[in-house]
């Protein structure tokens, strides 16, 4: 149950493509495809499709199959079965809000990069012991925000984070300015109402704003 150098390098390359990773939840595949196109056209080309709805796997597959120029991963990966299903449809990476022993085993053995979530220094240390270089920091706001991540730089200098949970355009740059933050995840770039109303222009504009942010 370790993180290989090859997959770590692949994840680093993915995260370097964008300062913001949209965290997306879809009720149907068609809206997933159109949302992905709008985000791509706005400059965000790394997408996380959460496995929170009955249509999520179908939406994930549709985006992978139909939208060119994006790198698409599965989020809210909670079970080994999620790992298997997401890999089968072509997910480029896997993200979990936390980690269990079963999920860690399945995720670290998957053929694509797996980024588990942490909320404490102890959880981060456990991942670092297994060779992890990246972790999701969730829920970022309640767990301590940018100041907490700054405090982890000294004891865990080789571990980098993708904070998610409570991230907005207003505070995203505060996180991105921290040395151990690789990117941020956020749902603000694709609001539920805009997806339901088919307001792709609004999503495209939000993506353009987000893509202009700068990671340290």
For the chain, give me the number of helices (H) and strands (E)? 11, 9
Specify the residue for token string 């053929």.
111
The answer to whether residue 136 is catalytic is yes
User: What is the C-alpha to C-alpha distance for residues 50 and 52, in angstroms, rounded to an integer?
Assistant: 6
DSSP string, 66-111: H-TT-EEEEES--SHHHHHHHHHHT-S-EE-SS--HHHHHHHHHSS
Q: Which of 7, 37, 48, 61 is catalytic?
A: 48
The answer to whether residue 37 is catalytic is no
Name the helix (H) or strand (E) containing 63: helix 56-66
Pairing of strands 160-163, 184-186: unpaired
Q: Which of 129, 136, 170, 208 is catalytic?
A: 136
Spell out the residues 6+ positions from residue 78 whose beta carbon is closer than 8 angstroms to its own.
51, 96, 97, 103
User: What is the C-alpha to C-alpha distance for residues 32 and 36, in angstroms, rounded to an integer?
Assistant: 6
Q: Which residues are catalytic?
A: 48, 136
């Amino acid at each position: 149950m370790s993180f290989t150098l090859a997959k770590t390098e692949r994840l680093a390359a993915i995260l370097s493509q964008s300062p913001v990773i949209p965290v997306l939840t879809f009720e149907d595949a068609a809206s997933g495809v159109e949302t992905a196109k709008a985000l791509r056209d706005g400059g965000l080309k790394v997408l996380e499709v959460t496995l929170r709805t009955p249509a999520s796997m179908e939406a994930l597959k549709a985006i992978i199959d139909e939208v060119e120029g994006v790198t698409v991963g599965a989020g809210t990966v909670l079970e080994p079965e999620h790992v298997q299903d997401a890999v089968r449809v072509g997910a480029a990476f896997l993200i979990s809000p936390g980690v269990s022993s079963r999920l860690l085993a399945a995720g670290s053995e998957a053929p694509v990069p797996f980024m588990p979530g942490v909320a404490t220094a102890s959880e981060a240390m456990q991942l670092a012991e297994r060779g992890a270089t990246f972790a999701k920091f969730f829920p970022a706001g309640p767990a301590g925000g940018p100041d907490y991540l700054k405090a982890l730089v000294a004891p865990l200098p080789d571990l980098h984070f993708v904070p998610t949970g409570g991230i907005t355009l207003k505070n995203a740059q505060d996180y991105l300015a921290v040395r151990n933050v690789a990117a941020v995840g956020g749902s603000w770039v694709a609001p539920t109402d805009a997806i339901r109303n088919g307001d792709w222009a609004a999503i495209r504009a939000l993506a353009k704003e987000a893509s202009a942010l700068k990671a340290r």
